Amino acid sequence: MFNKKFKLLSVFTRSEFALCSLLSLVTLTSMLTGCMSDNSKEVPELNELQMSLTPLARETTNTETTFEQHIKNGLYLRSVQNNYVVDGAMESAAVADQASDGDAGFSQTNVQQQGVAEGDRIKYDGEHMFIANNQYDFHVLESSMSREAQSSVRVMQRNDNGDVSEAASISLNLPSANINSLYLNNNTLVAVSDIYQGQAIYMNGTYIAADSIMPTKAQFNVSLINVSEPKNSTTIGSLTFDGSVVDSRRVGDILYVVSRYSPVVNDLIYAESKADKWANYRRIMDTDISELLPKYRDQYGIERALVTAENCYLPESATDKDGFDDMVTLTAININNPQQLSSACVNSQVQGIYATSSSVYLYSTNYVNQFFFDSQASEQASVIHKFTLDGSAIDYVASGTISGRFDWHMSNLRFSEHNGDLRVITTEGNRSSGYQHKLNILRQNNKALILVAQLPNASNPKPIGKVNNDGIVLEDIKSVRFFGDLAYVVTFLTTDPLYVLDLSDTMNPVIRGELEVPGYSSYLHPISPTLLLGIGQNVGSGILEINNGQALPAEDFPLVDGAKVSLFDVSDLSAPKEIRSLVFADAYTPVEYNYHAFTSLATEGDSYRIAIPFERWLTTSNVQEGGGIVYEWNQENFLGLFDISNITQGDSSAELNYIGNLDALDTEQTFNHASSWDDRAILHDDDIYYIHGMQVWKSLWHSPGQVMGPF
């Protein structure tokens, strides 16, 4: 740096040089910087801040820049562009391990992939229910809604008669925290919590302070608690990380957490002039790289680096003019020994993850020149990065780029690894120009995920989705589910076309059959190789009248009549059938948005039990003495119980039966503050447990109307 400044002496006048020469060498260096004209203090020309779609590499390979330069360039570009991209949280969510459910006699968390556990609000081991209290104890509303309240886990114990009682309340000792998810591994309860950062807006994976142009540091915590005796639980590890959780998974004794982190450089100013931009640039470039990397702290307050620049990946094609300020960190934590952890980081952006027991795929879409909320944009490309998992070892192996986007609705269900290939469904276009939905099959070849097959294709050009008279697909995708060599896709405009894709010939996927029924399914759950359950909304027909009296076609504004549960017979791939559908007027179910709310239990014999929470708002009108009418809104929450019988018949002899409701009623409260969003259920033999808010209701399968509780 000194040599560069010394060479600039030639640009000074004689008097300026004479003045500067009177100073000491140390003072000279500082003075020369001050004597330089503003024209000489210009930020180097940098490329536009943009997520890369190329494979990854460490800086020790053939990249044209270093990780340090790339992250610092990105920080500067973010400070001047201030274009925070709003990332949707990964929809946490899905087939439960039905065999283990049946063997154990009780339900477990509904997951996407067998052998890969997913975190949820509740966990159950057959005796104890662990329920995350996310700042809402509705009996003590005023104090519990405070951001300063500490999150805790309520533990309910079930006795041999099926009755439940409170066994313990476990505090995580984390002020201003929200439990993101719980895991249960033998006698260890794992709680992953988001930590709030005061008055801030959550954007781009970080918290943006109200009085700042730059992010403030986000944090999350992983607490590991020995619950072999819940009343005497002990914390065996508490790790607080820089960043925010994207999602997590557990394979065996290893917890994998994917988090997002944006470094923070203090004292940056809102820069409009060249001088201010230069000051910000120098402030960033002079910051030691160790200050820009995420750290973690253990329960004793000892701080360590989570990653080093040497084990961070950046785009293979990056130059010294490129930059990106987001880091995605994949961390493996040994649940039995939480001090044993390892991490890898990627200098890129992530929307979500799809995981198997041996690999994890990080994916994201690059919205080219689009506004924050224009998810329907046409010029889009997506990137997928594959990492292999082997215990605590995390290794990057390949990347792939495909056109289109994954959208935000339970996007991980658009992915499936099968026989070494990755199948994924993407969407391009919008309602105005038309949609193009594609099934893509990617195969790893060295460091690349290569597209080897696609649908539609030249041999099978029929699009996924109905076309109008102009040949345009106006239906967007509502749900996707893979099952072995099959993929089910639901698109929707005013009716629900269910498409059955046959992937048995990897190089020649085809649309084997389709079915049109009213409404749509937001979540699909394979019951067996020949039965498929759909959960979504029933949609009416006719005309919708808006306030000014103008009538609009229902195809533009469909009427949503209520939650719908449908059973499909897919034994004949070319002719899927709807066996039966049940509609709950004016209701919705959180299963439409989070498949963890779906509970199932395969029983002995030929049946399958299902529990689904519902919510609806009912209005009553009261005529006042003066002639006015007052409308009163009443919230209704209930658990719907279903039975599917004759599962192994393999044809339409299977039956979907509604067993009844388990209503969440509390005579001590005149208004139910809890939303059904976090409602869950547990099925244990003939016992039914409905968790709504922090309360538990109990009933029996054969007499659900006889409700006990709340507990």
Structure confidence by residue, pLDDT tens digits, 327-356: 999 999 999 999 889 999 998 888 999 999
Between 625 and 509, the higher pLDDT residue: 509
Cα–Cα distances in angstroms (integers) from residue 620 to residues 541, 579, 633, in the given order = 26, 36, 7
Is a pLDDT exceeding 80 seen at residue 144? Answer: no
Tens digit of each residue's pLDDT (9 = 90 or more) over 95-120: 443 333 445 789 999 999 999 999 99
pLDDT at site 14: 37
Is a pLDDT exceeding 80 seen at residue 7? Answer: no
Cα–Cα distances in angstroms (integers) from residue 638 to residues 107, 258, 496, 608, in the given order = 19, 34, 26, 20
Cα–Cα distances in angstroms (integers) from residue 513 to residues 82, 401, 414, 567, in the given order = 48, 29, 19, 16
User: How much is the average pLDDT of 269-286?
Assistant: 88
Distance, in Å, from the CA atom of 248 to the CA atom of 474, rounded to the nearest integer, reads 35
Give the pair of three-digit tokens for residue 526: 């394979």
Is a pLDDT exceeding 50 seen at residue 555? Answer: yes
Comparing 8-22, 77-91, 238-252, 683-697, the range with the smallest average pLDDT is: 8-22
Between 384 and 492, the higher pLDDT residue: 384
Distance, in Å, from the CA atom of 593 to the CA atom of 601, rounded to the nearest integer, reads 21
Between 169 and 18, the higher pLDDT residue: 169
**pTM, two decimal places:** 0.84
Tens digit of each residue's pLDDT (9 = 90 or more) over 23-36: 333 333 333 333 33
CA 150 to chain centre: 24
Positive or negative, the CA dihedral 196, 202, 205, 209 is negative
Distance, in Å, from the CA atom of 108 to the CA atom of 596, rounded to the nearest integer, reads 10
Tens digit of each residue's pLDDT (9 = 90 or more) over 427-439: 999 888 899 999 9
Residue type, 288: D
Contact call for residues 655 and 665 (beta carbons, < 8 A)? no
Is a pLDDT exceeding 70 seen at residue 554? Answer: no
Tens digit of each residue's pLDDT (9 = 90 or more) over 374-395: 444 446 889 999 999 999 999 9
Contact call for residues 135 and 144 (beta carbons, < 8 A)? yes
DSSP letter string over 365-416? EEETT--TT-TT-SSEEEEEEEEEEETTEEEEEEEEEEESB--STTGGGGEE
Is a pLDDT exceeding 90 seen at residue 410? Answer: yes
By percentage, how much of the chain surpasses pLDDT 90? Answer: 54
Is a pLDDT exceeding 70 seen at residue 603? Answer: yes
Is a pLDDT exceeding 70 seen at residue 461? Answer: yes
pLDDT at site 368: 58
231 contact partners, CB below 8 Å, separation of at least 6: 167, 168
pLDDT at site 234: 94
- Return the domain boundaries, the chain: 37-87+119-348, 351-455
State residue 357 phi and psi, 5-degree precision.
Answer: -70, -15
pLDDT at site 63: 67
User: How much is the average pLDDT of 570-594?
Assistant: 94
Tens digit of each residue's pLDDT (9 = 90 or more) over 506-523: 999 999 999 998 889 999
CA 180 to chain centre: 11
Is a pLDDT exceeding 70 seen at residue 545? Answer: no
pLDDT band at 669 (very low <50, low <70, confident <90, very high): low
258 contact partners, CB below 8 Å, separation of at least 6: 245, 246, 247, 248, 328, 329, 330, 331, 350, 353, 360, 362
Tens digit of each residue's pLDDT (9 = 90 or more) over 202-249: 444 444 443 344 455 789 999 999 999 999 999 999 999 999 999 999
Which helix H or strand E contains 565, and what residues bound it? Answer: strand 559-569
Is a pLDDT exceeding 90 seen at residue 541? Answer: no
Distance, in Å, from the CA atom of 279 to the CA atom of 229, rounded to the nearest integer, reads 57
pLDDT at site 668: 54
Average pLDDT, the chain: 81
Tens digit of each residue's pLDDT (9 = 90 or more) over 698-707: 999 999 999 9
Distance, in Å, from the CA atom of 400 to the CA atom of 445, rounded to the nearest integer, reads 10
Distance, in Å, from the CA atom of 275 to the CA atom of 33, rounded to the nearest integer, reads 12
State residue 255 phi and psi, 5-degree precision.
Answer: -100, 125
User: How much is the average pLDDT of 523-533?
Assistant: 95
